[in-house]
Amino acid sequence: MPDMQSLTRARRLVALAARLVPARLRDEWRAEWEGELAAAAESPNARLVRYASGSFSDAFWLRQRDVADLQLIDDLHHGFRYWRQQSGFVLTAIGILALSMAASVTAFSVVSQILLRPLPYHAPERIMTLWERVPAQSERQYVAPGNFLDWRARATSFTQMASAEPYSFDYAGGDRPIVVKAMLVSEGFFDIFGLPPLAGRYFLPEEHKKGNNRVVVLTERFWRAQFNGDAAIVGKTIAIDDGAFLVAGVVSKDFQPHFQEYVPGDRDLYAAKAIEDYEPRIRVSGYWGVAARLKDGVSIEQARAEMDAISLGIERENPRTNKGVRAEVVDLREHLVGDVRPAVTLFGAAVFAVLLIACVNVTNLLLARGASRQQELAVRTALGAHRGRLVGQLLVETLMLATAASVTALVLAQLAMRALADWGPPEVMWIDSLHVDAWAIGFAMLLAFAVTLTAGLVPAMRLSGLGLQAPGQRTMTGDRSQRHLRSALVIAEVAMALMLVSGTGLLLRSFVNLLDVDTGFNRDGVMVVQMFAWDRNPGPAALRSFHDRVTAKVASIPGVDTVGVVQAMPFIESNIDIQGSMRLIGQPPPQPGEEIRASYNVASPNYFAALGVRPLKGRLLDDRDGPASPRVVVVSEAFAARYLRDIEPIGQRLEIRAQGKPIQTEIVGVIPSLRHDRLDQPARAEVLMPFAQSPTGSLTMVARTSIDPATLIETTKREIWAIDPLQTFYRTATLDELVDRTLITRRFALIVLTGFAALALLLAAAGLYGVLSTIASQYRKEIGVRMALGAAWLDILQLVVKRGLIVSAVGVGVGLVGVIGGARLLRSFLFSVTPTDPIAIGGAALLMLTIAMIACYIPARRAAGEDPVQALRVD
Amino acid sequence: MRLTYPTALVLQALLDGHHHGFDIMDATGLPSGTVYPILRRLDAEGCVRSRWEKEGLARKEQRPPRRYYELTAGGRQLAAEARGKASALAHAGRRLLAGSEG
């Protein structure tokens, strides 16, 4: 006999199920189940709990039967029954909706989790970043130390202004010394953000004095990785460079001011900055990030006006360096995520278009299905269902589709966001933390309702209206107004698909143009190893010796052909553009504002060989140019074009102020311009001095290899450690990797938009195919008559194809108008292509029409191939 | 109404003199979640009628009263029809089996 416990449990189940039973039946229903349970408990081995679980099915049955009580259940029941019969249609509709809704949810999450992410600081809207706006540069620039110091001294709009200078140290706490990426921050930097330290404290004012500034604040990431997150490290010292630095505190990983970071959060520590004596004099080649906090009551416009006035004053005092240089005040959020906005706008538009196309397709599917349900609906009307009831039922069916699609979409969106985190552009803040959150789920539910209304309302209204027709009634060519409606929907689809395909075409053309950009060097088979050797090799002689030993050692590695060295390596992340002050000797002094502002670089003779660079004029730097030889330089083509227009470069004498001293040099050669930053930015006007004559500790070794350069990096490090076991490596890579890194964002944009365009094309083709199939089948009788009267196979084909092509051509026409209107969105993604590029847009239109032709041809051929006798027999 | 196999079984059990839910489950081997909705439907269609058993009987056995189901005339007719269909089905099945063997 079953124990009392399972009887109690069974009773509880029944009590729970009783809640589902309509109130007026509930008491009796429950009494019956109580009685049955008691009877069942008498018999041995009765499984009471399992028995009681059947009460749910019983209760559901009563509930769904109780139409007056709740109509929705009945509609759902209808919906499920309909689904079982139409699983092909249902899966198609859910698939179409799920894909486009997943794209929408992903786009929404990017906006809510990146663009609108709450900043973890105190009153973040009052935190500003300051930049230099320099004539002839399209982007805002980092700030030169001299300008920052003047701004800080003069501005009254801010409670605090501070700088952050990118820096690196060697940290010797591990097995091998490693490079730690740091920021030297000036007084008050952390106060601007108002984020409390995770442990310890930030810097004291006196720690920004020279000699007192051997103190650091660790980032949470570095603290956890190196010290296991042990708070005891605070107040102790750690070995940095050749000395001991006090650890003042730890800053949370939420703190990401994102200055000079190639990947957000790549900093290991912050160190206290003491202003050097020479820094107030540096007014070109800015490399400091500047942050400030607005005083209460001061608006950003007031601050901008004040900074403009201050910039003018500085320009008057320093006309040579500061001509046209202005301070730009940008709020922190704009600085952090402003770059992402055009991409989000573009993808938002693409996603919206795909979603609309999907809705249109589902509308079309519902209309097409509806035609075959006319009979069912007519019967229901005849049996007394009023129109509102039918509309409700049809909408509930669509809502069920949309809900199933939104659940699928959430799963797909989570996958898409993981993919974004792994393969998306890493310089986008917070991209690695994207996930489906409560907002995304809410948005997906909202989408389901919106889709239901967009895709479901028109078919529901129309079909319920049609229900009054007598069942079985047929016209020769079907319902004309419905055909018009469906054609209009296809026109909309084709137009939107054309816009997406054109946009993709423009991006593709930009990308191809970009890959065709002449970098001036051969990027294949080159290994790049960046080191800083100043501290361990003080003085020119020591640097020369280190250079000679290291290049000889690396050149002896099997697989390495040529080893050169350069100071500012093209495409490497920390390629600081040092602009020296220069003048041509024996030429008339330049007009104000036309002074030479060129990048100053140092290279060894083999640098050119390693990059495959040949001289355009004169010669390259070579072994003749030793420490004691006359001082020489080579200049880039861009330099010659800008400053030596009417002057023969070779033999021309150039005075360069480097490290404070003027040096007279002779130009011995002109080389092709090497791109330094990105393929879409112009080449630098560059002057290269021989390493032997201007030794530098900022060394990037460039080796041309006969085997895959990536495989040689570890060997190279080991060989260099054999010379100096404490040498660290700031960056090791292949040149190909470095160039490719700058293409990630564009490639990514291209891939995403291609995906959307392909989906749009497919959906539009499917929509066209569906409509033409219906038209063709509705025309069967007419076609039969025509064929019986002697129309040729080709005539029939033409008849159907023509209809399809008219619809597609109208769609393409509407789409072209949209393309011209929407080109604005694309402008910032284009390179050497106008937004109305005829090749891209014409190609897209041609592709669209071809696909449309194929989509028309299949139903047309089927119609034309039919036996006229069969066709005439239709109904 | 639609005559499913479980409905036919329930009708047969009623015809055989089982009158309570639990007994019908016992006789047909169908789970409670199937038997009760069938009984409700048969009730709604007028094929069975139900009443509560006599209070006194339940009190004597110290348990709650049970509901008692019995076939109506229409129900009996439906049961006969179900039996006919079942035997026709069985017949067809045998023929099919014989065909596949031959």
How far is residue A374's CA from residue A705's CA, in Å, rounded to a whole number? 74
- CB distance B25–A51 less than 8 Å? yes
Q: Which tens digits make up the pLDDT trace of A644-677?
A: 888 899 999 999 876 667 889 999 999 999 888 8
pLDDT at A471: 44
B4 in A contact zone (CB under 8 Å)? no
- Per-residue pLDDT, A869: 67
Q: If you measure CA to CA, which chain A residue comes closest to B36?
A: A58
Q: How close A400 gets to chain B, by Cα (Å)?
A: 25
Average per-residue pLDDT for chain B: 80
Q: Quick one: which H or E segment has residue A863? A: helix A838-864
| Alpha-carbon gap, residue B80 to B2, rounded angstroms | 14
Answer whether B45 touches A (CB < 8 Å): no
Question: Distance (Å, rounded) from C-alpha A783 to C-alpha A800?
Answer: 10
Of residues A116, A94, A108, the one with CA closest to residue A441: A108
Q: What was the pLDDT predicted at A2? A: 58
On whether the CB atoms of residues A207 and A271 are closer than 8 A, the answer is no
Burial A681-717 (b: 16+ CB within 10 A, else e): eebbbbbbbbbbbbbbbbbbbbbbbeeebeebbeebb
Contacting B residues, span 60-99, partner chain A, CB-CB under 8 Å = 63-67
Instruction: Yes or no: say if A658 and A580 are a contact pair by the CB < 8 Å rule.
Output: yes
- What does the CA dihedral A559, A561, A565, A569 come to, rounded to 10 degrees? -70
Cα of B45 to nearest chain A Cα, Å: 12
Residue numbers of chain A with a pLDDT score lower than 70: 1-2, 66-74, 371-372, 465-480, 482, 592-593, 658-660, 775-781, 866-875
Rounded to two decimals, the pTM is 0.70
Does the pLDDT at position B29 exceed 90? no
- pLDDT number for residue A245: 93
- B20/A40 Cβ within 8 A: no
The two beta strands, A686-690 and A596-603, are parallel
**Cα distance between residue A824 and residue A814, in whole Å:** 17
Distance CA(A285)–CA(A575), nearest Å, equals 12
Contact criterion met (CB below 8 Å) for A378 and A469: yes
Q: With an 8 Å Cβ cutoff, is A27 touching chain B?
A: no
Question: Tell me, what's the pLDDT at B96?
Answer: 60
Q: How many CB pairs under 8 A join A and B?
A: 64
**Size of chain B in residues:** 102
Of A36, A39, A61, which is closest to B37 when you measure between CB atoms? A61
Cβ–Cβ contact A56 with B under 8 A: yes
List the beta bridge partners of residue A290.
A130, A163
Output the six-digit token pair for A692: 């032997």
- pLDDT at residue B92 is higher than 70: no
**How many angstroms separate the CA atoms of A15 and A810, rounded?**
63
Report chain B residues whose CB lies below 8 A from the CB of A36: 20-22, 32, 66-67
CA distances from A549 to A347, A564, A723 (A): 52, 12, 8
> What does the pLDDT look like over B60-77, one tens digit per residue?
777 788 888 988 888 888
The chain A residue lying nearest B62, using CA atoms, is A38
Give the number of other CB atoms < 10 A from CB of residue A234. Answer: 20
Q: Determine the residue of chain A that is closest to B58 in CA distance.
A: A35
- Among residues 22-41 of chain B, which lie with CB inside 8 Å of chain A? 22, 25-26, 31-37, 40-41
pLDDT at A161: 97
The model's pLDDT over A405-453, given as tens digits with 9 standing for 90+, comes to 999 999 999 999 999 888 888 878 888 889 999 999 999 999 999 989 8
Smallest CA–CA distance, residue B100 to chain A, in Å, is 30
